[in-house]
Structure 1
């Protein structure tokens, strides 16, 4: 990761972004929660819950939660979406743009993967099942044009974004995920639909996914504009360019 922090970009419509320095500064508290006794954790949750409600940076949570995960958000609030109002748009350099309902996504062929989840900040959740539609399948249905080179992902928190090259997006271990840990993905885990990029650090697996836009070049995502690697291969990012096998 680049030790220099670029200038913070202006807040987006859906919430105020949190800067990288503030985010990393809270990690000690998050790590403490992992090893603390339950009584201490409850005390931390009470304190941080009060702080997060007043936090102008938009860091709405950084605490251990179900299954060893932590809840991260870079927006002050995230709306809930469900079967009635959720839509995933696929557009940009495609011949057949469309918006999928949750029911339509659930009706498509699914792939199930069991992989370790690795956060760039150090925590890991081993052997985590993910199930969803291969991103490559959605791209094939859309009819990607020959000028396409990359994908931009947007989220309904109104703030977060991510990117992949077209080759990365077509990997077998990149899913538009509908289930995690053998249950439908809940709101805190980025549901009802999130991205899952198996071989990369978890910040690439954008939560609350709402848009897949095919583009002619890579556009760095939220954390990448704040110093993180665009190519975030687990154990091989931060300067290394050797790509794992697919």
Structure 2
């Protein structure tokens, strides 16, 4: 398993199979066993979705980053660049994005490890609107996403990116997206496991092929449809 861990959590890297086995112990057993509780804190640092905080030792979404540190950007210094195979590349400020037509989705957030946050509201600009404004060229096949943590990347096919349930999200749970949740702007891909919804979004690049993202390079599925993907194609080693 990758050696990165949450900035809020310590602990030893734990594989996904061990994590799933731990879930099988049940919430009551976890609360009653301090040693297992401490071990679970270590597992939380290996959850790419940040949803392990829904376990008894959490209290909602848990902060997660694959980078050692992530800069905190405000409305004054945030920019989102749209480029690549487009006729009209553009750089958006946060104010620009807020001024565009907004869409609201209320969907379940699904973690690859089985945890789910039902009925989570997200609001933002449909990715398809930004692509249309940029003028995607006929040779384009995919969209690559980069993040201002300097490490995380993701990709979608062009057809996936044009779905109406894919947002460049500005709000989550009826609040502006906080830094810990990937703000001020993150991707939200409603029909896929949450690792596809890249936090701290800073770049949208239209490409001629799908470029596997951070977790795909570690064995997770490139197409992460909830219920159809197995979430992980192998068990990476440290």
- Fold in common (TM above 0.5): yes
Distance 1:229 1:165 in 2: 13
Deviation at 1:123, TM superposition (A): 1.1
Distance 1:86 1:145 in 2: 27
Counterpart secondary structure, 1:80:
coil
1:150 aligns to 2:108 (yes or no): no
Gaps in structure 2 of 5+ consecutive residues: 5-12, 232-238
Gaps in structure 1 of 5+ consecutive residues: 12-20, 240-246
1:195 aligns to 2:184 (yes or no): no
Task: State how 1:132-147 maps to structure 2 within 5 Å.
Answer: 132-147=124-139
Offset from partner CA, 1:44-103 (integer Å, 9 cap, x none) = 59x959xx9xx9x9x9x8862786323221111111011011010000000111111000
Aligned partner (choices 88, 93, 100) of residue 96 of structure 1: 88
Task: State how 1:67-82 maps to structure 2 within 5 Å.
Answer: 68-82=60-74
Instruction: Give the structure-2-normalised TM-score.
Output: 0.78
Instruction: Give the structure-1-normalised TM-score.
Output: 0.76
Distance 2:21 2:96 in 1: 40
Deviation at 1:30, TM superposition (A): 9.2
Say what the alpha-carbon RMSD is for the aligned residues: 3.5
Report if the CA contact (8 A) 1:200-1:234 is conserved. yes
Report if the CA contact (8 A) 1:33-1:64 is conserved. no
Corresponding pairs, count: 215
Shift in alpha-carbon separation, 1:24–1:78, aligned structure 2, 3 A: farther
Deviation at 1:113, TM superposition (A): 0.4
2:174 matched to which residue of 1? 182
1:168 matched to which residue of 2? 160
